[in-house]
Every structure is written in C-alpha cells, then in structure tokens.
A and B are shown apart, each in its own frame.
Chain A
Amino acid sequence: MSELALLLVRIGFVAVLWIFIFSLLSVIRADIYGRRVVRTVAEQSGSRVANKVEGPGNPDLASEREMESGGPSHLYVITGVGAGSKIPLDKRELFVGRAPSCELVVTDEFASSQHAKVVHIGGDWVVQDLGSTNGTYVDGVRIQTPEVLRMNIPVRVGKTTFELRP
C-alpha cells in the first residue's frame, strides 16, 4: 500500500473511534437532560378539543366531581420514596423538598432542599417552583410561573410524583 493510503487508514481508524465515543456522549446527554418530547398531531388537537369542552359553559366530569366533594383534601404521593402516603391539605402553604422541615420530604438527589410549594390562594391550590435546579413538572411540562393545580394532575419533583385528591 502507498504511504498516503496508510496514513489515511491510520487517521481513519482513530477518527471512527472518536466518532463512536462522541455518539455515546450524545446518548448520555439524552440520559441526563431527557429526550425532546415530540407530541403527535393527534394528541395536540385532542387536547385543544378537550380545552374547548372545558370552557365555562360546559364543565367536564372532573370539575363536576370537584364541586360535589368540595375541593381536594390531601396530596397523594404516587411514586417516589413515600409512595402511597397522604399529606392532608390543612395548612395554607405546603413545602416540597429534601429539607426535613418540608411537609412532603422527598429523598433523592434530583430534588433541591426547598424545591417547590403548594399554596392555597382564593379557593385554588397553586404550585410554585422555588428556583430548584431540576425543575417542577406539572402534567409532564416544566413550569416557569406558579400554576393552578387541578385534581388528579400529576406533579413531579425529582423522582417523586404526587397529585391532589379529594
């Protein structure tokens, strides 16, 4: 083989090796920050229809139930360390985080010490992120501003998921 071909083969192998490593790094990146969730068109239009139905004139089933029972009575932990436990909504403010002073203590590395709070404002329960590192997710979407929390909508903090229940 000619000198040039040898040189190309030599550099080629190392290049392939590095491309391999960088493609692994991109896999790891997806592992850390999560994959981009691409919603299907059907799903999006579906939720738009649902929003329309939920308008003031047509209360849907869930809000009907809400009215009957007189609002949520507790936070129910769905997944995470305290899965299955109930935290009564007997205060005006409940803190969620790693600190032992929080009402809902989550023990994992992905939660901040005071991660989020759930506040009772004017008949609604509002969830607010307290500048946490990894964010608070309502119904799978990271919230930037305080968000009104409805019944049976999952909220995720670190690896813990909870929701309001009657």
Chain B
Amino acid sequence: MSNMSLTQALPRLINSVPRSRSMEAVLLFWVAGMHAFQLAQIQLSATDNLDEQILLYWTPLFLASFVFHMVLRFKAKAADSLLLPLATLLNGLGISMIYRLDLAEAARGNEQLLGMRQVWLTLFAMAVAALVLWVLKNHMTLKRFTYIAMAAGILTLLLPMLPVIGAEINGARLWIRLGELTFQPGEIAKLLLVIFFAGYLTKHRDSLSLIGKKIWGVRIPRARDLGPLLLVWVASLGVLVLQRDLGTSLLYFGIFLALLYVATGRGFYAAIGIGMIITGGLVASQLLSYVGNRFDSWLNPFVQENYTGVGGSYQLVQGLFGMAHGGILGAGLGGGYPQLVPLAANDFIFAAVAEELGLVGVFAVLSIYLLITYRGLRIAISHRDDFSRLLAAGLSFVIALQVFIVVGGVLRLVPLTGLTTPFLAAGGSSLLANWLVIALLLRISDSANKQVIQ
C-alpha cells in the first residue's frame, strides 16, 4: 500500500513533461503556418504574384523557433509551453507587417529593407535569449545581484547622456551609437531594474507592509519606508527631464508601483503612486515644452495648428484615419495604406496592424498579449519563493505596461509616448529585451513546475 503514492506519481511525471513540450511543437508549426499565410497574402496583394522571396522572411524565424524549442527540451523540460508560440506568433506578425511596409515603400520608389533587418535582429535576440536559458541554470542566482543590478541599471540608463557615444534621435536622447550600430540601453535597463525591485522588495516587504499607524482603517507607512518610492519617483522624473522620454519614465515608475503593490498588498501605495504620476505629469506638462506639446496634441489632435505643426498630431491623426479605414474586418493584409503614417514600422506598427486586420484582428493581437501576461502572472502564483514570484510578476508587468502605454497612445486613450510595441515593432533593442523577458519567464516556470511535480 505504501508504494501507492509512488505508482500514482510516476505516470504524472512521465506524461506531463514531454506532453507540454510536444504541444509546444504543434503550436509552433501552427504559428509557422500562419506566418507563411501572412507573407503569401501580403506578396499576392502587393505584387500580384508569388515567388520564393517570402521564404527569406519565413524560414529564419521558423528554424529559430525550433532551435529555441530544442533548447527548452534539453535545458528547461518543465517550462511553460505557451509562451514560446505566443511570442513567435507576434514576432512573425511583426516581420510580415514590416515586410509589407517595405513593399509599399518600394512601390513609391524608396528602397528600404527594414524587414530583412528585422529578421536578422530577431535571430540575434532569440539566440541571446536561448543562450541565457542555456547558461542560467537557476534564476535564483539573480537574487545575489540585487544591488549590482541596480547600479548597472542606472549606469545603462545614463549611457546615452555620455558625450561621444550618446545619440539623439527624433528629440529623445535614448540611444548609443557605435559606428553603424545604434542601441537603446534603456530596454536592457528595465530588465535590470525589475531584478533590483524584486530583490529589494523580497527583503523589505515585511517592514513595508506591516509597520505603520492605522488611521481610519488605512495603515499609513512610516516616512522612512516611503523613501524608496520617492527615490524611484525622482529617478523617473530625471529620465523625463534629462532624456526627454515620457514613456520610459512612466514604465519604470509603473513597474515599481505594481511590484510594490504585489509585494505588500496595500492599496495605499497604489493610491499614493498614481497620485504621484498625475502630479508629476501635470507639473511636467506645464514646465517642459515637449510634454506640454504631447498633451496638447493628445487632447486637441484635429486643431489645424497641431496637425500641421512640427512634432504635432499629424502622425497620431494619420494613424486614427488608417484604423478607421480598417473598420471591423480590416482592409486585409496588403490591402490598406499604412505607409501613409510616419514611422509606421516603429511607433505606429499597431495602427498598421489595426488597419489591415481590423477590429477583429486587433482584439486577437491584444488577447495574445493578455495570454502572455496571464501566463507570466500564473507562473508568479505557482512559484513558492518570494523572489521568483516578484520577478515573474515584474516581467509580466513589463510586457503589459508597454502594451498599455503604446496601444493607449496610438488609440488616443493616453498621451502618445515613444515606447515600442513588444515583439511587433522594428528595432533590435526592444526585441532583445522582450525575448529576454520570455527566456526568464520560461526559466522561472521550469523551476515552478518541477517543485510541484517533485
């Protein structure tokens, strides 16, 4: 009788592990099929014939996703089986849309090969993420680097401010330039800061959540426990003032606030933090002209001066027109005019997707982001260790908040800011950072699932 539990546990162990991986393989084939469909549809509607050129855009992602899958089979057997197909699907849709914009530019006589560049950058990002999975056997190692991560994060944030390598593009000082290559260090900084926040809050959550006087049923924390909150607020405002980037500063503060709430479970922090965001935003819109402009073109985009003015609402309004043209069912891939929006491949890729896939497609894309975030939070819940929980929750919030800030900006729900749509937008730094998020989540889910199976 006593070996009953063993005989019961054994089939579960044998079934659950390879099953989740083979399901992942099936989903990856499905994703690859959809990617081929997109590319074929785009080429057919743009050039009226189908040639082998689309294979150049299709094959690399297909192979890379299966190499990644094999890495998981060897190094993280019990990892979540949905994250890789979901991220690959978005990445593939991004490549298709950028290729589609390239074709539209070629028709207008401008040769641009952003699509091919995106394919190479995807390969690079997935290779680095797979390498991280291969080398990092246990994410708990990261806990030891809590304060190093903080220092490295702040340092990488400050890199673009350096005289020689720092570069200013479109008014924001966020890039470093080494010869031909440009890189956005802020994307990596946000990962380092999530590691720091998770480590710091694991250590201090008790003093943050339990100590303090109770007034009208609300526990007010001690002034010294509010210190870190103030510090991060000041740092975020520093990014806003020095680097002139509204989105990034909102993202950093938002992640910290979300993790503070997850760690302590106290609504007081969330209320105070949201108050601080609103105060900071209002003050900045009065004092900093570029923030004021952004607010103005957000609230009054159809005013003539804003529409025609430099740095005005032209891009935003073109995006809105495009999405209106798409309607509910969309113009079909290759059937719309997304190239009429400035920077359609970067900031406004979401408007391009919305125009061609319509409301139905947009909801599908948003549900994919929702599923990624859901899986991340699910991993956070299922893990037993506090640091892992906070890290997984923080990484999920990175994706969720980016999507909210960008898509909200394009849809004119919040002021437009310069963040990238995860996995869709053209740009190597953002691809790299988001694939690293997926790699870390997979690593954490592997250890979470192993502890349950034991």
Contact = CB atoms under 8 A, between A and B. Distances in A.
B338 to A, nearest CB: 15
Nearest to A65: B1
Contact of B37 (A13, A79, A109): A13
B1 A10 contact: no
Contacts of B112: none
A21 B368 contact: yes
Interface in A1-57: 1, 6-7, 9-11, 13-14, 16-18, 20-21, 24, 27-28, 31
A105 B332 CA distance: 57
Nearest to B452: A159
Give chain A's interface residue range (CB within 8 Å of chain B): 20 to 34
Contacts of B371: 21, 24, 28
B38 A13 contact: yes
Interface in B15-69: 23, 27, 30-31, 34, 37-38, 41, 44-45
Contact of A154 (B5, B38, B333, B367): B5
Contacts of B45: 1, 6
Contacts of B31: 20
B52 to A, nearest CB: 19
Interface stretch (B156-164, B196-204, B356-364): B356-364
Nearest to A80: B384
B45 to A, nearest CB: 7
Contacts, number: 78
B215 interface: no
A132 interface: no
A163 B378 CA distance: 29
A10 B31 CA distance: 17
A94 interface: no
Contact of A10 (B5, B335, B368): B335
B333 A13 contact: yes
B2 A152 contact: yes
Contact of A21 (B1, B5, B330, B364): B364
Interface residues of B, number: 39
B8 interface: yes
A139 interface: yes
B181 interface: no
A85 to B, nearest CB: 16
A151 interface: yes
B367 A21 contact: yes
A89 B65 CA distance: 54
A18 B1 CA distance: 48
A9 B452 CA distance: 44
A21 B378 CA distance: 17
Contact of B82 (A6, A17, A27): A27
Q: Which of A13, A28, A31, A108 has the most CB of B within 10 A?
A: A13
B107 interface: no
A76 to B, nearest CB: 11
Interface string B154-180: 000000000000000000000000000
A10 B4 CA distance: 55
B329 interface: yes
Contacts of B368: 21
Contacts of A27: 23, 81-82
Contacts of B1: 60-62, 151-153
A17 B34 contact: yes
Given A61-B1, A151-B1, 9 more contacts: A10-B330, A10-B333, A14-B364, A21-B367, A24-B27, A24-B85, A27-B81, A81-B384, A139-B4
**What 7 pairs between A and B have smallest CB-CB spacing?**
A10-B332, A62-B1, A17-B364, A152-B2, A152-B1, A154-B5, A14-B360
5 contacts: A7-B332, A10-B329, A28-B371, A78-B5, A81-B384
